[in-house]
Structure 1
Amino acid sequence: MAKSLLIISRQAPWSGPGPREALDIALAGGAFDLPLGMLFLDDGVFQLMPGQAPGQVQQKDLTANLQALPMFGVDELFVAASSLRARGLDSVPLSLEAQVLEDDALAALVDRFDQVITL
């Protein structure tokens, strides 16, 4: 049986290569039926905000990659409630359906997976 993988994305959408690399790993793992989940934490929650304009910072849009996650079998998407609150985003609708977890549930989530990658 394949080991499960949790990818933790902690960076804002265009702060560097981390967010795109996290999505690439998730999409590749999903294509090979690897059991995986993705957690958006800290500034990574900005990746789930609707109405982004990446062209203004001369970057490619991550929205299409995010929307493809369920098509590649990546159905376990999580977001840290405290990260949303700290950035004033707790009442903003997310661009992708993700389970909002409080801090006490994050440790249990990490324990559920065999391997964890943080980007």
Structure 2
Amino acid sequence: MPRSLLIISRQSPWSGPSAREALDVVLAGGAFDLPVGLLFLDDGVFQLAAKQDARALQQKDLSANLQALPMFGVDDLFVCGGSAAERGLDPKVLSLEAAQVLSAGEITALIDRYDQVITL
């Protein structure tokens, strides 16, 4: 049985390459039928903010990659509710409607569920 992988994305989409790299790892895992999940934590929740203009920052837009996750079999998407609230984001209006909002306790249990965890 394939080992499961959880990617924790903690960086905002404009702070460097980490957000894109996290998505690339998740998409690659999904393409190879690896059981993979993606958790947006800390500033990573900013990746899900609606109506971002990546061109203004001379960055590539990540929204197409985010929307492609289900097509690659990545359905285990999670958002830290506390991180979203601390940053003034309403989890109900984030760009990934399928993402499950979790509390700190639920995140601990989530991490324990996966064989491998990578934080980017």
TM range (shorter): over 0.9
How many Å apart are 1:34 and its aligned residue?
0.1
Distance 2:58 2:82 in 1: 30
The SS at the match of 1:13 is coil
- Say whether residues 1:78 and 2:78 are aligned partners: yes
Partner of 1:107: 108
- Say whether residues 1:3 and 2:29 are aligned partners: no
The SS at the match of 2:93 is coil
Distance 1:91 1:70 in 2: 19
Partner of 1:58: 58
Distance 2:4 2:76 in 1: 11
TM-score between both structures, scaled by the size of structure 2: 0.97
How many residue pairs get matched?
Answer: 119
Contact 2:81-2:91 at 8 Å conserved across structures = no
1:65 partner amino acid? N
Contact 2:91-2:101 at 8 Å conserved across structures = no
Partner of 1:36: 36
Please give the per-residue CA displacement for 1:27-69, whole angstroms capped at 9, x wherever unaligned.
0000000001000000000001110000000011000001000
Distance 2:52 2:92 in 1: 13
How much is the aligned-residue C-alpha RMSD, in angstroms?
Answer: 0.9
Instruction: Show structure 1 runs of 5+ residues with no match.
Output: none
Distance 1:8 1:115 in 2: 11
Partner of 1:118: 119
Distance 2:16 2:103 in 1: 27
How many Å apart are 1:100 and its aligned residue?
0.2
The SS at the match of 2:85 is helix
4+ residue segments displaced more than 3 Å: none
2:111 partner amino acid? V
The SS at the match of 1:69 is helix
- Identical-pair percentage: 70
User: Relative to structure 1, is the Cα distance of residues 80 and 91 closer, same or farther in structure 2, using a 3 angstrom cutoff?
Assistant: closer
